[in-house]
Each structure stands twice: as structure tokens, then as C-alpha cells.
Amino acid sequence: MKVLFLTGAVTVLPWVAISSPASAASVESDIVPPVDPAPCLAAIAAKDGDKVVGACGILIDNDKTGKADRIKALIARAGVFIVRDQLERAIADFDVVLRLDPTLADIYNTRGELWWKKGDRPKALADFTAALKLNPNHASAKDNHRLLAQELERIGALMAVAGKPSFNCATARRPVEKAICADPELANLDREIYAANAKAVREAAKDSRSAGRALQGEQDEFLRRRNAGFGQPDYDLRRAMKERLDRLLAIGSH
């Protein structure tokens, strides 16, 4: 099976494109010689994923393998695991690489990208930070750190308003408003409706003031019906709010 190593959203590592054999490891024993790294290096050069996993796996697991050859083999195998979307196995190989050599900024950055892809933002941020400590000019780590910091800021902002409606619950007087304040899901729906309506009106008004006014009138009518209908046996507030949000999102998608 032919594969292209470490492509896609994950940073390409320079170790993957190895075309020349590494220097032979020193013989530590006259009885048990070290494993020949040539098959692993040939598999890397050929970009043959199956052979990399097999030949480089033998090299990785042998106690006689030199540090440099083990690192090359681990990085290459991790590249295959990434292509196969086996992220945990790739991360495990990078863990070993960094124990062997904790000075590799590229590996910290790439492992951070894998943690990010898995949704573990704290570990991803820690790895990007470690990469920048080793190499403050690491372009990819800089971009990753900046983008992840922005994402965390957005998440923090969303968490700050989670469960809060578009209006001040402390001054709520209508029964429907009090019901919305008492239910986090309804509160979130109200806030989303408010934001979606404001966007729809703003976009419509760019082309026509009357179109913007018409959309705002539609929102005002929804609120009037909501206020009047709440508490009636046949009125479902949650369903009405979801339908209104769907309507606004549909307008925004055109």
C-alpha cells in the first residue's frame, strides 16, 4: 500500500522524507548485533505504509537499535498512523520520540495538532507552547498557538453567556420571559433568535431599508404571538422558538 506521509491538516515532518541510510549504530555486543535499519529506511523512501509499520516496528522494538534510527522509525510509523487516522497510536509514538529527544520543536507542534484534532485543547496548547519555547520562530507553531488561543477565547465567551437570554432576567416582568429565564435551553434559544434576527435585518437593510424593516416587523410579530400565546393549552413555547430560529437561519443561509 502506497501512502503519502503526514499530509492534510497535520504538519509535514522533515524526518519522513528520508532517502539515505543513517550511519550504522555501534555494535554493542559480539553475540547480538543491532538490527539493520536499511529495510525501515527503504520503506520510508518508498512511502510504503505497510512496510513502514512492519520494518520500522521491528527496529523500534529492538533494544539494540540506536537512538537516531529509533527516532526516525517512530516518526515514520507515526506518519502512517496519521494517514490511517489512528491518532492515538501516532501520539503514542511521538510520546516516545520526545522522551528520547525533548528538543524537537516540530514533534511538539505536530503532536499538538493531533491533540487539537482529538478535541483536547489544553494538551494541544501545551505542545504548541513547548514548540515555541524551543523555537520562537517556528511558523506553524505560531499560527497554531494563535488560532487555538482565539478558539479558546470564543469558547470562553460562549460559556459566559450560556443559559442566558437576550434580555435582562432581573427586570423580566412577563410570564413568558420568566419561563425563558428559568430554562437554560429556552434562554439559549432566545439569545440565538435575537442574534440571528439582528444579522438577518442588518444584511437585508444593506440592499433595501424596507426589506430590513419588514424582517424586523416579522420578529416583532413573533414576539407578540409568543407573549400572547404563552400559557394557552395549545401553545408550545419551545417548538415556536425553534421554528422561529430555523426560519431566521434559513434567511441567513441565502
Q: Do both 96 and 179 map to the same domain?
A: no
> Is 5 a domain residue?
no
Residue 220: all three cell numbers together: 416583532
- Take residue 218 and report the three cell numbers written for it: 416579522
Per-residue pLDDT tens over the stretch 161-195: 778 898 999 999 999 999 999 999 999 999 999 98
In this structure, are 40 and 123 located in the same domain?
Answer: yes
pLDDT of residue 9: 52
**What would the pLDDT profile of 113-164 be if each residue is shown by its tens digit?**
999 999 898 899 999 999 999 999 999 999 999 998 888 877 766 666 778 8
pLDDT of amino acid 33: 62
- The CATH number given to whatever domain includes residue 93 is 1.25.40.10
Is the domain of 126 the same as that of 180? Answer: no
Together in a domain, 241 and 178? yes
Q: Among 120, 139, 158, give the residue marking a domain's end.
A: 139
Residue 3 has pLDDT above 60, yes or no: no
- 193 is a domain residue: yes
Mean residue pLDDT of the chain comes to 85
C-alpha–C-alpha distance, residues 51 and 56, integer Å: 8
Please report which confidence band the pLDDT of residue 24 belongs to, taking 50, 70 and 90 as the band edges.
Answer: very low
* 148 assigned to some structural domain: no
Are both 127 and 77 inside the same structural domain?
A: yes
* Residue 122 forms part of a structural domain: yes
Number of domains in the chain: 2
Question: Does a structural domain hold residue 104?
Answer: yes
Which of 121, 139, 157 represents a domain boundary (last residue)?
139
Please give the Cα distance from 227 to 117 (Å, whole number): 44
Identify the domain containing residue 174 by its residue range: 169-253
pLDDT computed for residue 14 by the predictor: 46
Closest among 75, 77, 37 to 53, alpha carbons compared: 77
pLDDT at residue 10, as a whole number: 60
Helix axes of 237-253 and 175-182: crossing angle, nearest 10 degrees: 80
Residue 19: helix, strand or coil by DSSP? coil
Both 185 and 237 in a single domain? yes
Residue 161 lies in a domain: no
**135 and 37 belong to one structural domain:** yes
Amino acid present at 228: A
Q: Check whether residue 68 and residue 108 sit in a common domain.
A: yes
Residue 204 lies in a domain: yes
Q: Is residue 28 part of a domain?
A: no
Which residue among 119, 139, 159 closes a domain?
A: 139
121 and 173 part of one domain: no
What is residue 29's predicted lDDT score, i.e. its pLDDT? 44
Q: How far apart are the first and last CA of the chain?
A: 44
User: What separation in angstroms does the CA of 203 have from each of 178, 194, 213, 250?
Assistant: 31, 14, 11, 13
CA distance 3 to 104: 24
**Rounded CA gap, 86 and 203, in Å?**
43
pTM to 2 decimal places: 0.56
Residue whose entry in the numeric block shows the C-alpha cell 434562554: 187
54-112 tens-digit pLDDT: 999 999 999 899 999 999 999 999 999 999 999 999 999 999 999 999 999 999 999 99
Instruction: Say yes or no: 173 and 133 in one domain.
Output: no
CA torsion 114-162-199-196 (nearest 10°) is 100
Does residue 122 share a domain with residue 66? yes
Closest CA to 113 of 137, 147, 84, 136: 147
